[in-house]
Amino acid sequence: MAVTALSERPEIYRLPQYKYVDAVRWLPPLSAFDRFAVLALFDSDSDTSSIEINSFKPNPASLEPQSSWVSPSRVSSLKASQFLQKTIIAASTFAGSLHFLFSDSTDASLESEVSVPENELHHGPVSCVDLMDGGMECVSVAEDGKVNLVSVGNSSLNYRRVFDSSGLVSYTAARWASPVEFATGGYGFSLHWWDQRKPGGPVSQFKGNWDQKMTAGIVHSIDIHPSRKHTCLAGGSLGTVFAWDLRWQQQPIMLSRAGTVASDTEVQSVSEIMEFFTDIYLLSSFKNAEFSLGCLLVLLHSYNWTLAISEAFDKRKKLRRKPCTDFPFFISYQKRSNGIVLLNWRPILNLTFFVIPRQQ
């Protein structure tokens, strides 16, 4: 097993929250001094959900609530992006509604909100939303088999259905690859590649030629690195992480999975991979390798969530990882931001701040 230790131990700070944290994201930074994080909170005692913008103070690490908005249902997915000096926060709920919050980038005050009511786009819980980087487009997918695109205007929304599988295919993850392309993931480790220029259905489908021993699972998270747009990385059930290269569609590159490890280049992991981030800047030692990406994995263990950092995997399919914490959290990772991750200690309502020293 190709596991090596990180040269430096990450620093971990815990920021306790007194409500259940459903999701957490960094807001895109406008200045070097102000850092804001958006939290989707759930108060189990009063049964209320809210989205809160907190300003982050590094010394000592703390979060101070700035503004808050009451959500009609629990938040299932949360994303944030920036467009023309404005921060957009997209949130989907378990009831099936979509909400877009606009906040002032300088003081993080909430300015307005537009929403799509439940049963309009999706029936039942929305699995995932993704906002285009620096754009006003949002893709939403759900287990009801619908794929929708929402164009976010200042006060109005335009939405259209990209695809409806009438429930035959259930989608669990979505990620933009470019302004016109995005990828979706679902049950049975299915990955679909969509191109807005070619409507009517997915342009490519990942047909996993899994060997017999391999059990199919659910894709929980997809990441596509801006510099490797042809490679779709997916993580999901039973510790599976694989790369799907659009140029060689029939050959998924297995990076991690459960069970017997076929070769010494794979890593064994039995937990569910709930979130998954890659960053080319995370590690530079494989600079010339074809896949020179570092990635962060969030694993689900039975009692908690665990973070693993895969330092890098290259074309020799090496994945190096290190479990860092033994407490549960959620993760939001900002690319090119000195490797700062905001984590959430989930069941006990703790939020953790996590710094990974960049190794350059």
Partner 1 sequence: MPGGDGALVPVSNENRGSVVVYPLHHGLNPPIARLAISWSRGNSLRVSVFRPPSEGEAGGKVVEVNLSNGDSEISDAQRRRIAYGSVSPFALLQSRRSSFSSLSKVPMTPSLYHLDWCEHVIEYSKDISSLLGGPKLPPSPIIEDPKAIFKKGEEPTYLKAAWEMMEIFYADKQSQAWLPERLVDWLADYDSLFSSTQATIHSKLVDFQKDIVNIQVIEDDSRYWEVISSALAVGWLDVVVKMLRLHGSYQLDQLSYRETENGLIEAVAVLISKMPRLRPESASGKLGECFKSKPDFNKAWEKWRAQITKLDCSAFWIHCDNLRTREGLKNMLQIMLGNIESLCMATCHWIELYISHFLYIRPFTMGIESMYSLAQKCIQSKPVSSAHRLTGLMIGILEENTEVVLAECSREYGPWMVAHAVELLTAGSEQAEILLYEERYNLGGISIGELHRLIYAQVLSSHALTWQIAPIYLTSCMKQGMSLLEILLYRQSVQHNELLLKNIELCRLYGLDHISSSIMKVAGVYHWKHGRKGSGIYWLQQAQDANRLHIIAQQLFDSVGKSISDESFKQWEGVIELLGSESKTAGGLEFLRKYRDFKKFLQQVPGGKSTEAARRAVDSLILLMKNPSTPQRFWLPLLYDSLKLLNWQDCPLLNVCETNLLLNKVQELSLARVRPDFKESSLPPEALSCVRLALATNLGRAILDE
Of the listed pieces 23-31, 82-90, 140-148, 352-360, which binds partner 1 according to CB under 8 A? Answer: 140-148
Residue 171: enclosing H or E segment and its boundaries?
strand 171-176
271 binds partner 1 (CB under 8 A): yes
Q: By CB neighbour count within 10 A (0-12 exposed, 13-18 middle, 19+ buried), where does 254 fall?
A: buried
CB of 207 to partner 1, least distance (A): 7
18 binds partner 1 (CB under 8 A): yes
Q: x/- site string to partner 1, residues 221 to 240, per CB under 8 A?
A: ----------------x---
Longest CA–CA span in the chain (Å) reads 55
CA distances from 36 to 1, 50, 80, 254 (A): 39, 16, 11, 36
326 binds partner 1 (CB under 8 A): yes
- When binding is defined by CB under 8 A, the residue of 218, 254, 255, 319 that contacts partner 1 is 218
Tokens encoding 6:
């990180």
323 binds partner 1 (CB under 8 A): no
CB of 35 to partner 1, least distance (A): 23
286 binds partner 1 (CB under 8 A): no
- Distance of alpha carbon 320 from alpha carbon 333, whole angstroms: 19
Q: How far is CA 24 from the centre of its chain?
A: 10
- When binding is defined by CB under 8 A, the residue of 65, 117, 153, 347 that contacts partner 1 is 347
Nearer to partner 1, 183 or 293 (CB): 183
96: nearest Cα among 130, 64, 127: 127
- Distance of alpha carbon 210 from alpha carbon 90, whole angstroms: 35
Of the listed pieces 84-92, 108-116, 162-170, 243-251, which binds partner 1 according to CB under 8 A? Answer: 162-170
- Distance of alpha carbon 16 from alpha carbon 259, whole angstroms: 36
145 binds partner 1 (CB under 8 A): yes
- When binding is defined by CB under 8 A, the residue of 12, 62, 69, 94 that contacts partner 1 is 94
Instruction: Kindly give the residue spans of alpha helices, DSSP state H, lying in 50-207.
Output: none
Phi-psi label, residue 131: left if phi above 0, alpha if psi -120 to 50, beta otherwise = beta
Tokens encoding 22:
């459903």
- When binding is defined by CB under 8 A, the residue of 198, 301, 315, 336 that contacts partner 1 is 301
210 binds partner 1 (CB under 8 A): yes
Nearer to partner 1, 16 or 357 (CB): 16
Coil vs helix vs strand at 296: strand
- Distance of alpha carbon 200 from alpha carbon 337, whole angstroms: 38
Nearer to partner 1, 143 or 279 (CB): 143
Report angle CA 221, 227, 233 to the nearest 5 degrees. Answer: 25
CB of 110 to partner 1, least distance (A): 25
CB of 203 to partner 1, least distance (A): 13
- When binding is defined by CB under 8 A, the residue of 52, 272, 311, 314 that contacts partner 1 is 272
3-state helix, strand, coil in the chain (%, to 5): 0, 55, 45
- When binding is defined by CB under 8 A, the residue of 137, 143, 311, 314 that contacts partner 1 is 143
256: nearest Cα among 302, 311, 185: 311
Q: Are 54 and 65 in contact (CB under 8 A)?
A: yes
Nearer to partner 1, 31 or 47 (CB): 47
187 binds partner 1 (CB under 8 A): yes
Q: x/- site string to partner 1, residues 95 to 124, per CB under 8 A?
A: ----------------------------xx
Q: Which residues bind partner 1 (CB under 8 A)?
A: 16, 18-20, 44-45, 47, 94, 123-125, 143-145, 165-170, 172, 186-188, 190, 201, 205, 207, 210, 212, 216, 218, 237, 270-272, 274, 300-303, 326, 347-350
